[in-house]
Structure 1
Amino acid sequence: MSESFVPSSLDEAIEFCQSAMPLRKIKDFLDRTALSADLKALLYDLAQFTVKVGEVVVAIGRRMISIAMWLAQTIPNTALGVTVALALTAVIGTVPVMGGFLAVALQKLLLLIGLTAGAIEDLRQHAMKDAIDRMARQFAAFNGGVVA
Structure 2
Amino acid sequence: MYDDPVALYFTFRAFYTRYWFRLHEVSSHKQGILCLCLLFERLLQRNEPQLWFHFRFINIQPVQVVFKWLMRGFSGHLPPEQLLYLWDVVLAYDSLEVLPLLAAAILSFRKESILAVDSLQSVEAVLADLSSLAVMPILQLTLMKGNI
Task: Tell me, yes or no, whether TM beats 0.5.
Answer: no
**Which structure shows the higher strand fraction?**
1
Structure of higher CA gyration radius: 1
Per the normalisation by structure 1, the TM-score is: 0.33
Per the normalisation by structure 2, the TM-score is: 0.33
